[in-house]
Structure 1
Amino acid sequence: MKTSSSAVHPSLKLDRRVTTSSVIGTVIEWYEFYVYGTMAALVLGQLFFPSGDPIVESLSAFAAFAVGFLARPIGAAFFGHFGDRIGRKKMLVYSLVGMGAATFAIGILPTYATIGVAAPILLVLCRLIQGFSIGGEWGGAMLMSVEHAPEGRKNFAGSLVQVGSPAGLVLATIVVALVNMMPEDAFLSWGWRLPFLISAVLVIVGLFIRLKTHESPEFEKVRDEGERVKVPLLKTFTSAPLQVLTGIGLTLAPFVFFYFLTTFLLTFGVNVLQFDSQLLLWSVALAAGLEIITMPLAGLIADKYGRDRIFIIGAISLLLIAFPVIFLLVTNPGNPLILILVMIGAMTIVHPLTYALLSTMFSDLFPTNIRYTGVSLAFQFGGVVGGFTPLILTAFLTSDASSVLIAGYIAFLSLLTVLAGISTAVIGAKRRRGEIAEEVVLEGSVR
């Protein structure tokens, strides 16, 4: 797949139904995902892992949060295999149903006070189902949007899918913030369940839209020409292992920054930096709300000036701000202006330069007939690192050098993303010159 760096042609229109389906579907998926992350920081540790120590409870809740990420590569392999074999659309329907069912189940789970140790076990099981389902969501939604888009509009189409993440976060944060305003007794007894239960309505809306879309034309071309691969997972690891590793590297900086700002900071900010929980929630909502605007702008800029160039600039920027961000927060505890400055600067302005372009960066790494598998595996393995970020950073709080460790961890992963961005640019250039085959047609192909 070629990625154009030329100016956008106004006459090149996106398939509105497909793009809308992809965006709304990912908004719902990420809403369900972020509701758990936010509630883990606020209340799930107390309800499901009671110990009397807020840090220990947070560690336990974040451990359950991280466990869900372990299932994501398994889901990526499953959905990727069948997405490359039978089509993108069907697997997107199944992923949405699985994620919605698990999220709704969390909303009706009895707590530790009611059924004891069975409560955290059931919670972890729901997280595993969530992780498995989301393992196939992003890759399929991204491919449906990008593979339908014309050349010169692919970065913009991909960035619209990425809007699902901040939009889902805004929705989740607003809902959680509203229920968090309830009297404490009501919130702890039943109010915390509402954000999870609301997901059922969202899933019904998402399914209605998603079922009306049509299959990716690039997949249909591969299917019609008999170039589907029998075992896409095996072919991905045997023919494109470097691309998988490179794809993982692409996700590290955008993931670690996002989870630092939206999940870990809710614990770090309240317990260490003396920020009010409501201030933290609304600042996250503000920054993510603005990112809904800046994400597509990053895609438009990439279509005009070159995707690889913009991505690498974004990754370098994340590397450079790692230590200043931590320094500002630690030296200005409880300062709302500093918090908003950090949120908007890091999340709204810099973060989209990488995250918005992951769709086409990943697409350029893999040929069409193993693309669903390749992009899903790379994205979800990277997600494992991102998912463990709150747990790792919370563990750093036990050290006297916690600020340096936190900043150093973020900076190191950002450096890896810079290197991965450069590697992707090289791989894409080779494919465009014909040095890498556009399709993997080997002895295991379906003819």
Structure 2
Amino acid sequence: MSATPELKRVVMGALVGTALEWYDFFIYGTAAALVFNRLFFTDADPATGTIVAFATFGVGFVVRPFGGILFGHLGDRIGRRSTLIITTVIMGVSTGLIGLLPTYPAIGVWAPVLLTLLRVCQGLGAGAEFGGAATLLAEHAPPARRGYYASFAQTGVQIGLVLGTSAFLLVQLLPEPDITSWGWRVPFLLSFALIGVALYVRLRVAESPVFREMERTRVIVKLPIKDAVLRYPRNFLVGIGAHICDTAVVYTLATFSVAYATGQLGLSNRTALFGVVLFGLTVIVLQPVYGNLSDRIGRRPLNLFSVVFVAAFVFPYFLMVNTGVPWLVWPAMMIMGALGFAPQVAVQPVFYAELFGARVRYTGFAASRELGAALAGFSPLIGGVLAAQLDGAPWLVAAFLVGTAVISFVAFYASRETKDMDITATDPVAGGGATDPVAGGGATDPAVKRLVEE
């Protein structure tokens, strides 16, 4: 079945929007690994400054669940599209303002305070961005190809990772004095321009047919977070656990590994950042492949495979990285991306969308996922602390990642296969595709079902 013009616009809106918003989120992590310890926390020694910088990075994850609940509420009440426009502005403005901040030598302790406040704003916007984009895609996509089309939301996230890392890779070409004086600001200031691109694309996207039907039939709930937790308690817990492993993996590779490779192994910043770019490109190529595969064999098998691979490969990964040889470091990142990270994140958009009924989908999706992100978002900080216990050796970090894989394995094992569920149902039975009789009946409207299938 070929994509309709409207579906193509929705795919492009999700792809561009998530790419630019997650560019904003990822460049903070890269800056925290490379320069923030020297610019915003100069009372501390470099190692301690890096740990403190990673702590401010983790603050964004603490507030992401609040963003998921707040903007998820709006997404289930006023619409998916309108809410995404709001989050686009929040992310773009807060990121651009970081590029204008005075540093510690200029204003003292106010520098890290303002930096942390803007990181909080980033976290609020990011907490609703992915859930909204994925929900909009899933509700527009034809049922038999829902996994394939929804995977483009995650493709956008990885494009954001590559763009953000590449921006700092270009900054590294400058002389060191220029990097610390003004060069680090450029990736952040670019966000002011990118916000216009994201808004232009998103304003051309139509609202979800599922939400339009909810408005028509007046089945919108007053407090979506309450309904999401009470009606789908099992799925809500699954959603929390499911996002722990992939969060820990990506931020350990993209943030902790950069600091470890440059600070402990003596690799250049460019070598470490190029490895992250290769990791991101590998994942981008494989997203639609795994999304399409999930439409054939299901979401659950791919999720289970990916976390088992992470647990099995994480020690070999650090053995390869620990050599300090680029031709071993880069393949290690690409292998982890291809088999440990890409399968679960490609399936993630549709997996979460299918955990909840239409009335509370945005809120349930964003809140449960971002609670998982909050639990694992301090992975770079934890990695730095654990590595310090072994004089910089990464083996406790590897054990930590195995632990996150076990948690997500339990969540995926407890989940039910949902690839054949009816996503137009306002209140499907948790984990299944039938309409929940206690919801008042009539949860699946033939008109909206026909709209999605077309």
Aligned-pair distance for 1:275?
Answer: 2.0
Helix, strand or coil at the partner of 1:425: coil
Instruction: Trace 1:321-336 onto structure 2 (pairs within 5 A).
Output: 321-330=313-322, 332=323, 334-336=324-326
Superposition map of 1:179-190 within 5 A:
179-190=171-182
Match of residue 405 from structure 1: 396
What is the aligned partner in structure 1 of residue 405 from structure 2?
Answer: 414
The normalised TM-score by structure 1 is: 0.92
Deviation for aligned residue 1:433: 5.5
Q: Which deviations, in whole Å up to 9, do the C-alpha atoms of 1:413-440 show, x marking residues without a partner?
A: 1011112112222677875756772995
Taking the aligned partners of 1:282 and 1:143, their CA distance within structure 2 comes to 32
Helix, strand or coil at the partner of 1:198 = helix
Tell me the TM-score normalized by structure 2.
Answer: 0.91
Report the counterpart of residue 359 of structure 1 in structure 2: 349
Letter in structure 2 aligned against 1:285: V
Q: Does structure 1 conserve the Cα–Cα contact (< 8 Å) formed by 2:299 and 2:417?
A: no
Give 3-state SS (helix, strand or coil) of 1:357's partner. Answer: helix
User: Equivalents in 2 of 1:26, 1:439: separation in Å?
Assistant: 36
Say which of 201, 204, 210 aligns to 1:209: 201
1:148 aligns with 2:140: yes
Instruction: Tell me the alpha carbon deviations over residues 299-340 of structure 1, each in whole angstroms, 9 at most, x when there is no partner.
Output: 11111222221221122111211222123323x1x2111101
Three-state SS of the structure 1 residue aligned to 2:436 is coil
> Which of 328, 335, 353 is 1:338 aligned to?
328
Matched residue SS, 1:81? helix
Name the SS for the 1:274 alignment partner.
coil
The corresponding residue for 2:61 is 69
Q: Map of 1:12-411 to 2, 5 A cutoff?
A: 15-51=7-43, 53-330=45-322, 332=323, 334-400=324-390, 402-411=393-402
- Secondary structure at the counterpart of residue 243 of structure 2: helix
Give the distance between the partners of 1:279 and 1:184, measured in 2 at CA.
Answer: 16
SS in 1 for 2:137: helix
- Structure 2 Cα separation of the partners of residues 323 and 233 of structure 1: 39
Letter matched to residue 247 of structure 2: F
Q: Which moved more, 1:218-227 or 1:136-145?
A: 218-227
Amino acid at match of 2:398: A
- 1:226 to 1:390, Cα distance in 2 relative to 1, 3 A: same
Q: In structure 2, what is the Cα distance between the partners aligned to 1:258 and 1:69?
A: 14
Cα distance in 1, alignment partners of residues 437 and 42 from structure 2: 54
Answer yes or no: is the 8 Å Cα contact 1:370–1:440 preserved in 2.
no
Structure 1 contact 244–378 (Cα < 8 Å) conserved? yes
Residues 436 and 405 (structure 1 numbering): CA distance in 2 closer, same or farther, change over 3 Å?
Answer: farther
Give, in whole Å, the separation in 2 of the partners of 1:320 and 1:381: 26
User: Between Structure 1 and Structure 2, how many residues are aligned?
Assistant: 431
Q: Give the drift of 1:80.
A: 0.6
Aligned amino acid, residue 353 of structure 2: S
CA distance in 1 between partners of 2:9 and 2:293 (Å): 24
Counterpart contact for 2:81–2:205, Cα < 8 Å: yes
Uncovered stretches (5+) of structure 1, i.e. residues with no partner: 1-9, 443-447
Matched residues in 2 for 1:357 and 1:267: separation? 29
Task: Identify unmatched segments of 5+ residues in structure 2.
Answer: 422-428, 442-454
8 Å contact kept, 2:247–2:376: yes
SS in structure 2 opposite 1:182? coil
Structure 1 counterpart of 2:43, one-letter code: S
Amino acid at match of 1:229: V
Instruction: State the Cα deviation string for residues 83-128 of structure 1 (Å, max 9, x = none).
Output: 1011101100000000001001000000000000111100000000
Query: 1:5-58 deviations in whole A, cap 9, x for unaligned?
Result: xxxxx4465700011001100000110011111011000111000135221010
Write out per-residue CA displacement over residues 349-400 of structure 1, whole angstroms, 9 at most, x where no aligned residue: 4311101111111112111101100000111111112320000110112212
Q: Residues 441 and 127 of structure 1: is their aligned pair in 2 closer, same or farther, counting only changes over 3 Å?
A: farther
CA distance, structure 2, for counterparts of residue 74 and residue 439 of structure 1:
29
CA distance in 2, matches of 1:202, 1:12: 27
Report the CA distance shift for 1:201/1:438 in structure 2 as closer, same or farther (over 3 A): farther
SS in 2 for 1:418: helix
Matched-pair identity in %: 34
Q: Which amino acid aligns with 1:162?
A: Q
Once residues 254 and 62 of structure 2 are traced to their aligned partners in structure 1, the CA distance between those partners, rounded to angstroms, is 20
Does the 8 Å CA contact 1:314/1:354 hold for their aligned counterparts? Answer: yes
Letter in 2 for 1:388: F
